[in-house]
Structure 1
Amino acid sequence: MSLRSALCAATALSLGTAGAGFAETITIATVNNGDMIRMQGYSDHFTEATGIEVEWVTLEENVLRQRVTTDITTKGGQFDIMTIGMYETPIWGNNGWLVPLDDLSEAYDINDILPAMRNGLSHDGTLYAAPFYGESSMIMYRTDLMEQAGLDMPEAPTWEFIRDAAVAMTDREKEINGICLRGKAGWGEGGAFITTTANSFGARWFDENWTAQFDQPEWKEALGFFVDLMEDAGPPGYSTNGFNENLSLFQQGKCGMWIDATVAASFVTNPEESTVADKVGFALAPNHDGVEKRANWLWAWALGIPAGTNNEAAAKQFIEWATSKEYIELVAANEGWANVPPGARTSLYETPEYQDVPFADMTLKSIEAADPTNPTVDPVPYVGIQFVAIPEFAGIATQVSQEFSAVYAGQQTVDEALEKAQAFTSEEMEAAGY
């Protein structure tokens, strides 16, 4: 089915008003990531085929989370579509705050969505947001610098190897940092990264009785290792670096390694954007020596519809278009298969042209290695790898991440931050009735 015919079919199914002679406008809140910005550039194709105008509100990740959370909890009605993820979607769906996506067209092929993404964006078997792209996290590294250091990157390295390699690749005179990692405050920014790192050291947020675990030795070891690594081989001011800041550093040739979202691979290998595009290799996220869990997460940036919107049918039509096989083909035809939104559909990884993309296989391996139902070495009462799927988590983890970022900025010690994190988390969980 062609893109145009797919859109026309969706129009008839979803709206029943094609050719009625009126124009609708939908407002979409989204994050300022490269794939989302690319989607905005193609949205005129959607408008041309349907007559539906699209207005965009594009925000930095932490600000987006605040804006959409405030809007949906207060029934503000500012947005017809929100860009949300695996943390918010099941909770908001359970609360009745999102429109179920249980009536998407047959042509959309909902069963083609990767099971990990479909499950993470559902509640009680009902899909409440459609994945625009899915991701885990992995290592992106400079093959030339690794060779100069006399090292070979294993497919599944340990943190100990990463530390040694980062130090070996660091050249302060040339402004080359051996490793670039997130230190920016925010539960989905630096908070997400340090949580996956802690998982790989055997730490956990809570024990089976919902008791906070920041006073345990695994957290001290993980946070201390991270701080020492970044002081020895990280960039100056890393306490304020998130995804976009580290992406820019890597593209400028200032990072030997970067451990972050698999979706970044297309941007670091794009010669129009990256000065090191032909010198990038990929490996699984590391684990601490002797610990089976790796520091990789599972996430999807997805499109959901807030309950109460006056443009539900048009919003569903846009979601069908933006997360469809046809959209992937549209991007591939114009920008190449390496630049399509990854990690959402099984059929993408069965496409021969995409199988030739250098990071496709490692992305899929990383996604398949992530298990949000079994995220830690010791048992936990929660689901989620880089987050804990309870409503209280966002507020608690935002505060905890701020304490950790203060360590990265040299404003307090590891012990002080962990003591504050333990006290704050325990107080908030007790107040919430856990």
Structure 2
Amino acid sequence: MTVTVRALMGASLLLVATGAASAQTTITVATVNNGDMIRMQRLMPDFNAKHPDIKVNWVTLEENVLRQRVTTDIASKGGQYDVLTIGNYEVPIWAKQNWLLPLDNLGADYDQADLLPQVAQSLTVNGKLYAVPFYAESSMLMYRADLLEKAGLKMPENPDWDFITEAAAKMTDKAAGVYGICLRGKAGWGENMAFLTSMNNSMGGAWFDMKWKPQFDGPEWKKTLETYLKLMSSYGPPGASSNGFNENLALFQTGKCGMWIDATVAASFLSDPKESKVADKLGFAPAPTRAGGQNHGNWLWSWNLAIPASSAKADAAKTFVAWATSPAYAKLVAEKEGIANVPPGTRTSLYQNEAYLKAAPFAPMTLKAIQSADTQHPSEKEVPYTGGQFVAIPEFQAIGTSVGQQFSAALAGKANADQALAASQALTSREMTRAGYPK
């Protein structure tokens, strides 16, 4: 073989290699730093093996930061991300703005009909699905059964806030580093206000009356905030105004919380003996009501994968989205991580799987909470909005975060309940007037 032939063959091989590399499509996925999403990143070798032509870059962010960045990017049509992790708050609002691509034809094995109806409905606009759920949740009470027994108490079938206060007091042992209750305190419309809006619903309250007048000057919000501040100041952990979902999860897993009212998705992490010191000491109950009330305030939330209309790589993005939310992915998690760790709340078949029900003692309560969440009538009062733990209007993202900052400041001791409520009433009234409500 002559030098010239060798050179030509080498050049040809280089061109082939270069061509193969250039054929690979790179997509950027923006996601939240929750445990299920971190687990998905560990399982990417399966996707890479099946789709070597697609490279996935991850942008993993804290919840509040994620919301801010993806909202800015999609509103400006920046095209920075090809797959967004967003909630069922954003999906219908953004779909109506034509910011999201509809998701149909996700593959013969996807089985879209298996998605839980309550969850799929919240992601559907004009008969089209604009995002698919990675996991879905409601809220419930998770508690240390051993500490409750030690306190001489028995969990009621439908606990109320009076019982929660009594139990928190008796379960608290600050000398041992055990706090009777852990609740969200970090400011944000999807952080402390997700919990406090739900709590206010359970107290019989609402964000707005039928004329869109804010209700922070009413008795329900006063009862809500005063109860919350009493619970957290007397029986909660120090520095609670900085604690969101992940911080409280870590506290509970290390045995520092007696009770926690939060997302049902937390149960799988609390029940995992590899991650939780209290995995064998758990109990689950519905989120509390007020004494004599019927509204548990249990929310409906899903973290979903969506494709922005600004993506230039929609086909590759759709391939990834289908993989990450498919029955095959659930099977992969079961094989690699254990069936109890399959992302919950998205598929009917999961709650008909005897192996899952046996491995996940929290499953029946999770399903009951999701199915009973009434997002169309979140309050016992007649209200002009839907949503549950949020108000399904575009303005809520900013208003909810501003109110959350007032309540977080009160938790940190920088204001009292009356001051926080008055400030919330004023700022919400101002912003709603500016936005032109009632419309």
> Normalized against structure 2, the TM-score is what?
0.93
Distance 2:42 2:101 in 1: 26
State the match for 1:40 in structure 2: 41
CA RMSD of aligned residues (A): 1.2
State the match for 1:29 in structure 2: 30
State the match for 2:432 in structure 1: 429
Of the three residues 406, 411, 419, the one matched with 1:408 is 411
Question: Structure 1 residue 395 and structure 2 residue 398: aligned?
Answer: yes
Question: Structure 1 residue 361 and structure 2 residue 351: aligned?
Answer: no
Alpha-carbon distance, 1:142 to partner: 0.6
Distance 2:233 2:22 in 1: 62
Alpha-carbon distance, 1:337 to partner: 1.1
Show structure 1 runs of 4+ deviating over 6 A.
none
Distance 1:43 1:156 in 2: 41
Kept in 1, the 8 Å contact 2:74–2:310? The answer is no
Question: Structure 1 residue 208 and structure 2 residue 203: aligned?
Answer: no
Alpha-carbon distance, 1:20 to partner: 11
Structure number with bigger Rg: 2
Aligned length in residues = 416
Q: Which amino acid aligns with 1:414?
A: A
Alpha-carbon distance, 1:237 to partner: 1.2
Alignment of 1:193-342 (within 5 A): 193-342=195-344
- Identity across matched positions, percent: 59
Kept in 1, the 8 Å contact 2:297–2:388? The answer is no
Alignment of 1:86-97 (within 5 A): 86-97=88-99
State the match for 1:148 in structure 2: 150
Alpha-carbon distance, 1:155 to partner: 3.0
> Normalized against structure 1, the TM-score is what?
0.94
State the match for 1:60 in structure 2: 62
State the match for 2:4 in structure 1: none
Distance 2:356 2:273 in 1: 18
Alignment of 1:347-358 (within 5 A): 347-356=349-358, 357-358=360-361
Question: Structure 1 residue 420 and structure 2 residue 420: aligned?
Answer: no
Question: Structure 1 residue 378 and structure 2 residue 381: aligned?
Answer: yes
Distance 2:126 2:432 in 1: 25
Alignment of 1:90-105 (within 5 A): 90-105=92-107
Distance 2:157 2:68 in 1: 37
Distance 1:308 1:78 in 2: 8
Distance 1:100 1:266 in 2: 31
Distance 1:288 1:387 in 2: 20
Alignment of 1:48-87 (within 5 A): 48-51=49-52, 52-87=54-89
Distance 1:124 1:200 in 2: 31
Q: Which amino acid aligns with 1:41?
A: R
Q: Which amino acid aligns with 2:197?
A: T
Flag structure 1 segments of 5+ consecutive residues without an equivalent. Answer: 1-18
Distance 1:248 1:103 in 2: 39
Flag structure 2 segments of 5+ consecutive residues without an equivalent. Answer: 1-19
Task: Give secondary structure in 1 for the equivalent of 2:159.
Answer: coil
Which deviates the most, 19-28 or 354-363? 19-28
Q: Which amino acid aligns with 1:105?
A: G
Kept in 1, the 8 Å contact 2:297–2:378? The answer is no
Alpha-carbon distance, 1:166 to partner: 0.7
Alpha-carbon distance, 1:244 to partner: 0.5
Distance 1:155 1:104 in 2: 41
Of the three residues 173, 176, 182, the one matched with 1:174 is 176
Distance 1:43 1:116 in 2: 29
Deviations 1:173-227 (A, max 9, x none): 0010000000110000001101000000011001111111111111101111111
Question: Structure 1 residue 135 and structure 2 residue 137: aligned?
Answer: yes
State the match for 2:15 in structure 1: none
Task: Give secondary structure in 2 for the equivalent of 1:244.
Answer: helix
Alignment of 1:116-135 (within 5 A): 116-135=118-137
State the match for 2:166 in structure 1: 164
Deviations 1:131-167 (A, max 9, x none): 0000001111111101100111123211111110110
Distance 1:45 1:284 in 2: 37
Alpha-carbon distance, 1:21 to partner: 8.2
Alpha-carbon distance, 1:122 to partner: 1.6
